[in-house]
Structure 1
Amino acid sequence: MRRISNLVLSLGLALTLFSCTNSSDDGRVLNMALGDDIKSMDPAQNYDTVGNTVTPLINETLFQYHYLKRPLTLVPHLAEAMPEISKDKKTYTIKIKKGVLFADDKAFEGGKGRELKAADFLYGWKRLLLPELASPGTWIFDDGKVAGWDDYRKKMGDTPAGDREALLQAPVEGLTALDDYTLQIKLLRPYPQLLNVLAMGFASPMAKEVTAKYGQQGLSQHIVGTGPFMLVDYVAGSKVDLKKNPTYREELYPSDGDAEAIKDGITAAAGQKLPFVDAIHFQIHKQEQPAWLQFLKGRLDTALIPKDNFDAAILNKELRPELAAKGIKLIKDEEPVIWYLNFNMKDKIVGGNNKDLRRAISMAINREEFIEKFRNGRGVVATSMIPRVIAGHTNRTEVVNGFNVEEAKKTLAKAGYPEGKGLPTLQFDLRGSATSAKQQAEYIQNSLAAIGVKMDIIVNTFPAYLRKEQTGNLQFFLGGWNADYPDAENFMFLLAGKNAAPGPNASNYVNPVYDKLFEQISVMTPSPARDALIKQAEQVAFDDGIWGMLFYPVEYSIYHSWVKNYRPDSTTSGWIKYLDVDVEAKKAGRAKL
């Protein structure tokens, strides 16, 4: 899912998701925070961890991941049941639930939300192709996946802006509403990831009344969906307030779970109606220390542990007894996330055929030291494009283009820059302004200086960073990816040539050999044969020096015992809807702090 502002429940990099205090923190209310402004709440545009923390609580999808089962398992959400799939795996027929209502909003007649219909999905999917939205999600159906989609995309691009709304009403061959409650998708070839894609925000339905009221480009800060919460207020740089949707249908807390869920006691709410809390208050909080201190005072519900406070919270990889005695709890989890050095292949200096420069830069970075210094050891050196928790991971004994200063100097000279002579100062863009992000950039800066490479650090807000990324205006930067869905294809597609900016291929890498291998991988289900192709494709990219793999994070997240049902997962969109607050326990717990 997503460009990482940090890892949504992952490291304390530029934009960490923290719980944060709010003046209205009494009652059955969650008080949380975001690491930066939301670039856009529009489901056609949102593709980062900051926005994806909020929007799935408002907008829903046909399918979702079971909250209490690992490995992740898809279950119906707005769909009535799992789809009927043809024998050739090219036709999917999906029934949607009846009686689902859009939240009340002045966009609708009389301010009352109407019933969701199959046509709302078609409308939401087709508006992905509006040029003015520059959606990073068009890939979900394009490139010969859905019948008629590529032709429709071309037609949309050729249509004058004033005529595009009418075109949104035109049919697409492979996307059909058989009736008000039945969708049919016809594929040109099998697409094993289709159901995973239909669990992503890009596949959310959209009511035409909403875009008519607020405009196609007016949904970045005002969205209306069918979800358990409604947007009350969004003030950039300050807050996002949500309240319980009073017309939300009956969705129940899962009635089953895996052994770990049972052991942790988070199945006790089985069969109860969601959501539990009356409101969620997010504060936009860009620095770590204030949030941490407020958590310790009991004014926050959850937090990640900043690196500077790690030793005060953790002893021998477990929560310190004095914190445990106060009712604070710890969860540790290796996530489906990768971090890596990234280069823009369109750049005149680090891009193109200058693979030896990219390889030299990668060799200058000591991964183990980086993990220890900035993660307190909470990470594993990455040797594959695929996280260890995803099928298809290649378990190499060492990093390709890994740390070796002397080899880095030789490779830099081979690139034509002996001791860095003749090489312009590189530009390293940050994803935010957090102190930890600046410190990490300074570490990279000093590491490169050791081989003769100069580097300037460019500070951005996260939305500004995303604009640069999506327009191809970065040179050298930290790449981070949190799985949209639990499949290796979702990581391999980051280097597919067809996905270049504004798509997810921020490297703007195009290699016909890699692309051919990716096309084979993308239509296969997990198997040893597929794993072999993944390893082969990875080697092609590593030989080109496209990425310098860094690490897979292991997250330590803590929470107060008054927060119930806490099982954070960076791939499960909308997981916050399952949380509850025991008001009386909160009062008693604060008294211990």
Structure 2
Amino acid sequence: MKRRRLLQGAMLAPLACRAEGERGHRKILRTALPSAEVGFDPAQVSDQTSVQVNAHIFEAPLAYDYLARPAKLTPLTAAALPEVSEDFKRFVVTLRPGIFFADDPAFGGKPRELVAADYVYSIKRYYDPRINSEHLYVYETAKLLGLSELRAEALRSKKPFDYERPVAGLRVLDRYRFEIRLAAPDPRFVHVLASNNYAAALAREVVQANGGEVMAHPVGTGPFRLKSWRRGSQIVLERNPGFREQLFEAEPAPGDAQAEAIARQLAGKRLPLLDEVQIAIITESQPRWLAFAGGELDLLELPTEMAPHAMPRGRLAPALQKRGVQAFASSGSDVKFSYFNLDDAQIGGLQPARVALRRAIVLAYDNEAELRLVFKGQGVLAQSMLPPAVYGYEPGLSSEASRSDPARAQALLDLYGYERRDAEGYRTHPDGSRLTLRRAGSPDARQRQLNELWKKRMDAVGLRIEFEQAPFGELIKKSLAGQLQIWGYSWSIGAPDGDFFLGMGYGPNAGQSNDARFKLPAFDRLYERQHVMPDGPERLALMREANRLLLAYMPYQVHSHGLRVDLCQPGVQGFMRHPLGRDWWRYVDLVSPAR
């Protein structure tokens, strides 16, 4: 991932933004996120806000070195990196003794140590039909021995999932060691064990004590715990008083000035450095920006709509420079896209006419206008679903996904039978029936801009389009249930590999990561073959062949790879966006201003 410092010259301290400092004797970081949280059970959430908060409460066995680039795995609750068999089918994790969950009434007033059984239980939860986790595909793709069969039995019998049943694919070896066995090689499975979203440890007592309220009652081993929560408004985290001694250590890449500055500033300090993190949910861009500009927030990802004001011509505005604000940009780790539901009666299917319809929609739309008008140039046009920061990305690829060509779109529609028009002048299906596109989105200013652009571009080629709106969490539920026809959002990478993005087209993942419900046997075979291979030319060739099938059948319409700009007020030290990790606040400090 390329990361560049946007401000030059005016700053004296390499990273520390100096002006505000501590609030009294407590270090309280104030930040804001653009979308409401769904809840705080890792197995049940995938939205950006919930995932980021969970990353500070729960812990996976592994993590990524905060400063190393390219990304480097490091132990977190594990004592060392896992033992991995030569065939990549057996993984043994050994935990560090003396790690404890945050205090909770479910523990009966006694300290509760993290043990191997907690990870075994937590991973099994993804298979529990009552939870219906959209992340189950991560483990089913990896083929843990016996777990899918256990889930199938629970579904068939309609009895509760049997957590006590021994299975060969996931078992406790002793108090601090657990073993995972796979049916097929998976050279990159170890990255799953670094994800708070897939491999975080929960305590069974807490889950059982809170039942259906577990989403509102997160208890983990991480540096923070939930202090208060007003749904869709504010989340407050406080330092976990029982958090173990964790001293900062990291390996900055040579020549990375930002990382080297952080390494000097935080060397040997005990984490976390903050007493509290206050997270405001502010969905509209302008109020979020004004809160930062007015000093009410310490740390903010710059809303793209505000980039012309804060970053004219790619440089921090003079007024912000004068205040000591710093800006840092990162790119290449996400992809903005829309998906087409291939089960939908209007646009779904793999027949040539339906493929032509989806390709015409893509050709009629204008990604360049979207990037310029809606996202203020903060990104680069995407050529496929694989972002630049992942293994498998093809720098020289040029696809029709990035080029607007309304004339070609119209010719394609005419060629495949969509030439007839109804009384309102809109195209019909080849059989003369009404053709209506329906695109979903959240009710905010940016979505209104996107809807205007979509309406203009579809009208230009004679395609009727309508819009439906709902909160982001509700749209996720509808998407998982296959109730949306077209929806667009952004995925950020969770591992330094393109397998995840190709997995969005894998048939068995339909209803989970495969929102498009794309099912093509030829693609599935390619995906399965590359999945078990070690990195190298043969795997790259298969990944690129699979990627071209996605472009040919168009279950997904790619838009752009975003440029993220993070701003920090004076007094903030240690923040750096990691392309994979999400627990940034663990490392952030607030210091007194230099006078």
TM-score (norm 1): 0.90
1:381 paired residue number: 381
In the alignment, the residues of structure 1 paired with residue 157 and residue 494 of structure 2 have an alpha-carbon distance, to the nearest angstrom, of: 31
Q: Within 5 Å, which residues of 2 pair with 1:385-534?
A: 385-396=385-396, 398-401=398-401, 402-418=403-419, 420-422=426-428, 423-430=434-441, 432-501=442-511, 503-534=512-543
Instruction: Evaluate the alpha carbon distance shift between residue 250 and residue 350 of structure 1 in structure 2; reply closer, same or farther with a 3 A threshold.
Output: same
Q: Within 5 Å, which residues of 2 pair with 1:190-209?
A: 190-200=185-195, 201-209=197-205
Large movers: runs of 4+ above 4 Å: 260-264
In the alignment, the residues of structure 1 paired with residue 51 and residue 436 of structure 2 have an alpha-carbon distance, to the nearest angstrom, of: 35
Alignment partner of 1:104 is 2:103: yes
Q: Give how far 1:255 is off.
A: 4.1
In the alignment, the residues of structure 2 paired with residue 230 and residue 556 of structure 1 have an alpha-carbon distance, to the nearest angstrom, of: 27
Q: Within 5 Å, which residues of 2 pair with 1:323-402?
A: 323-352=320-349, 353=351, 354-396=354-396, 398-401=398-401, 402=403
Instruction: Evaluate the alpha carbon distance shift between residue 329 and residue 461 of structure 1 in structure 2; reply closer, same or farther with a 3 A threshold.
Output: same
Stretch deviating more after TM superposition (368-377 or 303-312) = 303-312
Instruction: Give 5+ residue unaligned stretches, structure 2.
Output: 1-21, 429-433
Tell whether the 8 Å contact from 2:339 to 2:516 is kept in structure 1 after alignment.
yes
Alignment partner of 1:306 is 2:279: no
Tell whether the 8 Å contact from 2:219 to 2:225 is kept in structure 1 after alignment.
yes
2:431 paired residue number: none
Count of aligned positions: 556
Stretch deviating more after TM superposition (540-549 or 56-65) = 540-549
1:122 paired residue number: 120
In the alignment, the residues of structure 1 paired with residue 513 and residue 148 of structure 2 have an alpha-carbon distance, to the nearest angstrom, of: 18
In the alignment, the residues of structure 2 paired with residue 451 and residue 236 of structure 1 have an alpha-carbon distance, to the nearest angstrom, of: 42
In the alignment, the residues of structure 2 paired with residue 373 and residue 434 of structure 1 have an alpha-carbon distance, to the nearest angstrom, of: 16
Tell whether the 8 Å contact from 1:342 to 1:548 is kept in structure 2 after alignment.
yes
In the alignment, the residues of structure 1 paired with residue 223 and residue 142 of structure 2 have an alpha-carbon distance, to the nearest angstrom, of: 35
Instruction: Evaluate the alpha carbon distance shift between residue 471 and residue 127 of structure 1 in structure 2; reply closer, same or farther with a 3 A threshold.
Output: same
Stretch deviating more after TM superposition (409-418 or 486-495) = 409-418
Paired amino acid for 1:156:
A
Tell whether the 8 Å contact from 1:68 to 1:254 is kept in structure 2 after alignment.
no
Paired amino acid for 2:538:
A
SS in structure 2 of the partner of residue 490 of structure 1? helix
2:549 paired residue number: 540
In the alignment, the residues of structure 1 paired with residue 199 and residue 157 of structure 2 have an alpha-carbon distance, to the nearest angstrom, of: 23
In the alignment, the residues of structure 2 paired with residue 558 and residue 573 of structure 1 have an alpha-carbon distance, to the nearest angstrom, of: 17
In the alignment, the residues of structure 2 paired with residue 581 and residue 97 of structure 1 have an alpha-carbon distance, to the nearest angstrom, of: 30
2:206 paired residue number: 210
SS in structure 1 of the partner of residue 369 of structure 2? helix
1:186 paired residue number: 181
Q: Give how far 1:570 is off.
A: 4.4
Paired amino acid for 2:386:
I
Q: 1:286 aligns with which of 280, 283, 288?
A: 283
SS in structure 1 of the partner of residue 538 of structure 2? helix
Q: Give how far 1:519 is off.
A: 0.5
Q: Give how far 1:137 is off.
A: 1.6
Tell whether the 8 Å contact from 2:122 to 2:200 is kept in structure 1 after alignment.
yes
Q: Give how far 1:143 is off.
A: 4.5
Stretch deviating more after TM superposition (176-185 or 370-379) = 370-379
1:17 paired residue number: none
In the alignment, the residues of structure 2 paired with residue 190 and residue 213 of structure 1 have an alpha-carbon distance, to the nearest angstrom, of: 38
Tell whether the 8 Å contact from 1:108 to 1:209 is kept in structure 2 after alignment.
yes
In the alignment, the residues of structure 2 paired with residue 281 and residue 452 of structure 1 have an alpha-carbon distance, to the nearest angstrom, of: 48
1:201-235 CA deviation, whole Å, 9 max, x = no partner?
Answer: 221122111122101x3211111111101111222
SS in structure 1 of the partner of residue 345 of structure 2? coil
Tell whether the 8 Å contact from 1:286 to 1:433 is kept in structure 2 after alignment.
no
Stretch deviating more after TM superposition (127-136 or 507-516) = 127-136
1:157-189 CA deviation, whole Å, 9 max, x = no partner?
Answer: 23434x43xx11221212111100111112222
1:548-584 CA deviation, whole Å, 9 max, x = no partner?
Answer: 22111112221113111110134212122111111x2
In the alignment, the residues of structure 2 paired with residue 88 and residue 535 of structure 1 have an alpha-carbon distance, to the nearest angstrom, of: 24
1:131 paired residue number: 129
In the alignment, the residues of structure 2 paired with residue 120 and residue 307 of structure 1 have an alpha-carbon distance, to the nearest angstrom, of: 41
1:507-557 CA deviation, whole Å, 9 max, x = no partner?
Answer: 000000110000011112332222221221122122112222211111222
Paired amino acid for 2:411:
K
Alignment partner of 1:266 is 2:262: yes
Tell whether the 8 Å contact from 1:489 to 1:522 is kept in structure 2 after alignment.
yes
Q: Give how far 1:396 is off.
A: 4.2
Alignment partner of 1:568 is 2:577: yes
2:12 paired residue number: none
SS in structure 2 of the partner of residue 428 of structure 1? strand
Instruction: Evaluate the alpha carbon distance shift between residue 260 and residue 457 of structure 1 in structure 2; reply closer, same or farther with a 3 A threshold.
Output: farther
Tell whether the 8 Å contact from 2:510 to 2:518 is kept in structure 1 after alignment.
yes
Instruction: Please provide the CA RMSD for this pair.
Output: 1.8
Instruction: Evaluate the alpha carbon distance shift between residue 416 and residue 25 of structure 1 in structure 2; reply closer, same or farther with a 3 A threshold.
Output: farther
1:39 paired residue number: 38
SS in structure 1 of the partner of residue 194 of structure 2? coil
Tell whether the 8 Å contact from 1:445 to 1:455 is kept in structure 2 after alignment.
yes
Instruction: Evaluate the alpha carbon distance shift between residue 113 and residue 448 of structure 1 in structure 2; reply closer, same or farther with a 3 A threshold.
Output: farther
In the alignment, the residues of structure 1 paired with residue 86 and residue 579 of structure 2 have an alpha-carbon distance, to the nearest angstrom, of: 33
In the alignment, the residues of structure 2 paired with residue 140 and residue 313 of structure 1 have an alpha-carbon distance, to the nearest angstrom, of: 39
In the alignment, the residues of structure 1 paired with residue 305 and residue 332 of structure 2 have an alpha-carbon distance, to the nearest angstrom, of: 22
In the alignment, the residues of structure 1 paired with residue 556 and residue 135 of structure 2 have an alpha-carbon distance, to the nearest angstrom, of: 23
Q: Give how far 1:260 is off.
A: 5.1
Instruction: Evaluate the alpha carbon distance shift between residue 489 and residue 346 of structure 1 in structure 2; reply closer, same or farther with a 3 A threshold.
Output: same
Paired amino acid for 1:136:
E
Q: Give how far 1:39 is off.
A: 1.3
SS in structure 1 of the partner of residue 91 of structure 2? strand
How much identity, in percent, do the aligned residues show? 29
In the alignment, the residues of structure 2 paired with residue 181 and residue 564 of structure 1 have an alpha-carbon distance, to the nearest angstrom, of: 35
Q: 1:224 aligns with which of 219, 236, 246?
A: 219
Q: Give how far 1:75 is off.
A: 0.5
Instruction: Give 5+ residue unaligned stretches, structure 1.
Output: 1-23, 589-593
Instruction: Evaluate the alpha carbon distance shift between residue 35 and residue 159 of structure 1 in structure 2; reply closer, same or farther with a 3 A threshold.
Output: farther
In the alignment, the residues of structure 2 paired with residue 572 and residue 383 of structure 1 have an alpha-carbon distance, to the nearest angstrom, of: 25
In the alignment, the residues of structure 2 paired with residue 55 and residue 308 of structure 1 have an alpha-carbon distance, to the nearest angstrom, of: 28
SS in structure 1 of the partner of residue 522 of structure 2? helix
Instruction: Evaluate the alpha carbon distance shift between residue 105 and residue 371 of structure 1 in structure 2; reply closer, same or farther with a 3 A threshold.
Output: same
1:226-253 CA deviation, whole Å, 9 max, x = no partner?
Answer: 1101111222122111110011011121
